[in-house]
Amino acid sequence: MKRILTLLISVLLLCALALPVFAAEPVVPLVVDDAGLLTDEELYELQSYAQQTCSGAGFDIVIRTVEDTDGYDVETFTENIYHGYEYGQGAEHSGVILLLSMVDRSYDLYVYGRCDYLPYSYWTDVENAVLSYLGSNNWYGAFRCFISQSAGLVSRNRDMFNSDGSGVFFRLSLGKVITALIFGLIPALIARSILKSKMKSAVLQTRADRYAGQLQLRQRDDHYVRTDVVRVRHQESSSGGSRSGGGHSGGGGGSHHSGHF
């Protein structure tokens, strides 16, 4: 009995020693200023603000500043940061990250998971708001704007954020198409009516000299002149491709808004 009691105490001691190890596991903050753009007070305030905003929201808002992108293009580097540090919430790892590279003053706003269910143009509005601060080197203002604008955007469009992502783009596109047709059809009908009123009616004729007025056709002959031959060279298809910045995949697969500030 004494041996069993000693064994139980040993097990409890081992468990107690293991608890601090799990508690000390580091958590990557949502705001990381490797480029040193912020004061300590500004960095702490932004980290707290981002953490409070994203707690229970279903998505992360991440800000990262770096000196350079280690030879990668800014979009690839941003994706590596986002997925490498396992940012994002939920099964889709939903979130949005703003990365600044100071060596060439480039930026990338990367939208992923359920945040990417929202239309691309919505995030363009957030991008433009942030750029208005970045252009004047107001780093704190830009980052606080990014957090508040992103949170507000998702809050206003929770129906799309909580959907399965299917049909959102179609519904928005269909509305735009109908609007374009309405506003395009009315001017076209007006222009058609004006042109039609200026045209003189004519009876369809089967002979060319009926349309020629005073011109009298005395002789009509067909002469063979030449044959045009067009040769098109077939080129081998290539498996290579190119990637352009600021593209949009949609449906949660990730989209980029990148450029320079």
DSSP string, 101-115: ETTTTEEEEEEEGGG
Whole-prediction pTM: 0.63
Q: In whole angstroms, how far apart are CA 52 and each of 45, 49, 60, 148, 162?
A: 11, 5, 11, 11, 20
Give the model's pLDDT for residue 27.
80
Residue 83 has a pLDDT of 98
Reading the chain (261 residues) residue by residue, the pLDDT tens digits are: 555 544 444 545 455 444 444 434 458 899 999 999 999 999 999 999 999 999 999 999 999 999 999 999 999 999 999 999 999 999 999 999 999 999 999 999 999 999 999 999 999 999 999 999 999 999 999 999 999 999 999 999 999 999 876 554 444 444 444 444 455 555 555 556 555 555 555 555 555 555 555 555 555 555 545 545 444 343 433 333 333 345 555 556 899 999 999
What's the pLDDT score for residue 10? 52
